[in-house]
Amino acid sequence: MMVVMPSLTRAEATARAATVDVHEYEIDLDLTAEGDTFGARTVVRFSTRPGASTFLEFEPVSVASITLNGAPVPAAAMDGERLHLSDLAEHNELAVDAVMRYSNDGEGLHKYVDPADGSTYLYQHMFINNAGRILPSFDQPDMKASFKVSVTAPGGWLVAANGPLVTGREGRWEFAPTKPISTYLCSLIAGPYHSVTSEHDGIPLALYARKALAEPLEAEAPEIFEVTRQCLDRFHEIFHIRYPFGHYQQAFAPEFNFGAMEYPGLVVFRDEFIYRSAVTESEREHRANVIAHEMAHMWFGDLVTMAWWDDLWLNESFAEYLGTRIASEATRFPDTWTTFAMQRKAWGLRADQHPSTHPVAPAEVTDTDQALLNFDGISYAKGAAVLKQLVAWVGDEAFLAGVNAHFEAHAYGNATLADLLGALSAASGRDLTTWADVWLRRAQVNTLRTEAVREGRAYASVAVLQTAPEQYPTLRPHKVGLGLYDRSADGAVVLRKRVEIEVQATGRTEVPELAGEPVADLLLLNDGDLTYAKIRLDEESTAAVPALLPLIDDSLARAVLWASTLDAVVDGERPVAELVTLVLAALPVESEVVVVEDVLRATRTLVDRYSTPETRPAALELVAQAADRLLAVSEAGGSRQLAAARGLIGATVDVKRLAGWLEGREVPDGLAIDADLRWLIVYRLTVLGAADTAMIDAEFERDRSTTGEQWAARARAARPDAEAKAAAWESIIGDTKLSNRLVEMTASGFWHAEQLDLIRPYVARYFADMPEMMRVRSGMSAEKTATYAFPAIMVEADTRRLAAELLASDDLDPILRRVVQDADDDLRRALAARF
């Protein structure tokens, strides 16, 4: 049974920060022993008022000694996962010698054995409330300290940490103390990592990946370093304080829970970003965006850190906004805002409409459990969209001036929403109190619609109508663009005129600039994607979208139209059959790869959930046809070809064609059937009942890698076989030896619309068994597993009834409650759309 660190409440954190001033941690880890434990000796130096009491988070397997100011600490001081100290001196030194346990859930000190060669790799992830799994600590963001790390490791290993390396000889690695950082930002990696080094503008650069990825790391290093240099240069142009943490290392670690994490001096990414197979340009753009996002955290989050988790947006919203912006301005990927409009903003809109919605900057986050739940599309994407709106409102010069003043005032310390708003208000000369109240302190999203009254061939009037949900009636000021698009003589659709207006926080805003203008073939609301809102066009423009969408040159305008269309289908305002028809008509001529990928992915999901079992096969066939048409006209070896092939594989039921591709028959020119595409084909064949265990095992022997291991787990769970489903379910629920990623992949492969009769019994089992899963897993991996394992394709009233019964439980794990609550809301929408 896993012991989960108790949640730290804000009240406890506030009281502790008022009592204790922590200065330094000295950590000495011994990683040489075999098995599932490691040695950790820690010295914590802190000050307080004489006679005070406090506690540290600490979760040891066993303790050899604990001393406070040279005197032994009684065993009774350990209470669960907290070490209580009393009768403290003004200046204190706590020394602890303990044995700690490795994890396999991506938290604490995660241990991974590579199936390719049996090598062991470690990475440290103390995120939110997991520092106690490695050392006794004051684990909250506003108690910053210097970390001095030493490691004894097996011969042949490489160790890297936040601080610069002082010595690394004969298995002994010692690092210089860091600048003051929060506990959740302290990290290291250890193992036989392969490294590539460089330097830029006086900053040492390094990349690390498993030695099994040495060849692809060497191949990808030039592009990763180029993006890193470009982003560093751009941040140095806009920020007055240079990169503040010495070296800039980027490690690519196996089974990392996040896409990446902003540890100062040692950013850690999931190692899927080291591409071993062909990828699309949009995937390379995504990696550049993540690099820029994590680099933005060096200022927003690391240099200046939120005081408590209610200001998470000061970290994530700013990094999301700046990552997209800097990647667009500094790298070879100028269209990142198109990706943001298609993918990230849609993520925010969906999260904002779920029952679990919350403000970007909530007034209260009561504990660390609630803090974890707020790492969602609201804190990231909605917050970034709101910031984009703020920059458009106050102007970029004032925005950057306020940000730089904020850094200078709080460097190496902590800050709050009020601190930042004060700096931005002073720089812009605008009182941001009202703006912050409606955009940051209030939840949910507005809907903006155009109302166009025609008088002959001209507009008599144009207005923007704003509405809000009944439960969240806030109307907001919006800066939006309205674009008039016309079909030209050569058939293209071009922008004739664009106006930007400020939509008032009322129900109706007139647009006098468009009165008397000739009627456009398409009147696009939110042209330029300036605001965060649900967008609905006037009836005539909506009707014109299928004919005009493929002919618009501006990729961002197309993204706004696609996103609005997909959102209307999700809301049940337009039928999924209409979406499929649009996909068949417009997608084969779409040039923006991210639009192709996102539309195919979203449409595939909507077809599975919004179509009835009777209409689904025909709808899926049209999606396959759209992908096939795109495949036929795409450049050989290009990104569109790969995106189209992936879409076709996921939608087709042509077993013979897929099997032929595996064998090298009738493969489109330029399409590489490499390791990852082979797995995608094997997986689809498995779902369709055309691949058995022997085929999956043979493919794993062919690709005995980390990725191959994960694909094999997913494919085994996808088999349309009662025994395979039973085995997969037991792994999901209670196999604690299975690592985080393998459990998640097993859960993601379980449910398929092609297998409804076989998997129906597991609907009830989800609601009966998932609470037990939450007792043996924790944190982000538990959340992902619960989400993937939810029976989302079982769009039936009985599924909702079972969800309601589980949600009625008083003692339901808060992570599971949120997952089920939001997934049930998605079921509600799908059921309504079907009838």
The CATH class that applies to domain 10-191 reads mainly beta
Question: How large is the average pLDDT for residues 377-406?
Answer: 94
pLDDT, tens digit (0-9, with 9 covering 90-100), for 83-116: 999 999 999 999 999 999 999 999 999 999 999 9
d(CA 6, CA 11): 14
Q: Is the dihedral of CA 784, 789, 794, 798 positive or negative?
A: negative
Catalytic residue positions, numbered: 294
> Is 835's pLDDT higher than 80?
no
The strand pairing partners of 546, in sequence order, are none
Whole-number pLDDT of residue 528: 94
d(CA 560, CA 339): 10
369 pLDDT tier (thresholds 50, 70, 90): confident
> Is 75's pLDDT higher than 80?
yes
Interacting residues of 510 by C-beta distance below 8 A, sequence separation 6+: 461, 462, 463
- Nearest 5°: the CA angle 84, 89, 91 is 105
Decide: 46 and 92 in contact? Cβ < 8 Å: yes
pLDDT, tens digit (0-9, with 9 covering 90-100), for 343-357: 999 999 999 999 999
1 pLDDT tier (thresholds 50, 70, 90): very low
Tokens of 91: 């200046």
- 3-class secondary structure, 643: helix
Interacting residues of 403 by C-beta distance below 8 A, sequence separation 6+: 239, 420, 423, 424
pLDDT, tens digit (0-9, with 9 covering 90-100), for 503-552: 999 999 999 999 999 999 999 999 999 999 999 999 999 999 999 999 99
Whole-number pLDDT of residue 489: 87
Question: How large is the average pLDDT for residues 636-645?
Answer: 97
76 φ, ψ (degrees, to nearest 5)? -65, -10
pLDDT, tens digit (0-9, with 9 covering 90-100), for 574-633: 999 999 999 999 999 999 999 999 999 999 999 999 999 999 999 999 999 999 999 999
d(CA 427, CA 393): 13
In whole numbers, what is the pLDDT of the chain averaged over residues?
A: 96
> Is 492's pLDDT higher than 80?
yes
pLDDT, tens digit (0-9, with 9 covering 90-100), for 713-727: 999 999 999 999 999
283 pLDDT tier (thresholds 50, 70, 90): very high
pLDDT, tens digit (0-9, with 9 covering 90-100), for 421-441: 999 999 999 999 999 999 999
Alpha helices in 688-778 (DSSP H): 693-702, 706-718, 722-734, 740-748, 756-759, 761-776
Tokens of 632: 């036929």
Decide: 762 and 788 in contact? Cβ < 8 Å: no
> Is 264's pLDDT higher than 90?
yes
Question: How large is the average pLDDT for residues 44-48?
Answer: 98
Whole-number pLDDT of residue 5: 57
4 pLDDT tier (thresholds 50, 70, 90): low
Question: How large is the average pLDDT for residues 206-212?
Answer: 98
77 pLDDT tier (thresholds 50, 70, 90): very high
Decide: 643 and 600 in contact? Cβ < 8 Å: yes
Tokens of 152: 């004894």
d(CA 551, CA 177): 58
d(CA 800, CA 389): 37
Whole-number pLDDT of residue 3: 44
Domain map of the chain by residue range?
A: 10-191, 575-673, 720-835
pLDDT, tens digit (0-9, with 9 covering 90-100), for 116-167: 999 999 999 999 889 999 999 999 999 999 999 999 999 999 999 999 999 9
380 pLDDT tier (thresholds 50, 70, 90): very high
The full length of the chain comes to 835
170 pLDDT tier (thresholds 50, 70, 90): confident
For 724-752, letters b (16+ CB in 10 Å) and e give bbebbbebbbebeebbbbbbbbbbbbbbb
pLDDT, tens digit (0-9, with 9 covering 90-100), for 678-729: 999 999 999 999 999 999 999 999 999 999 999 999 999 999 999 999 999 9
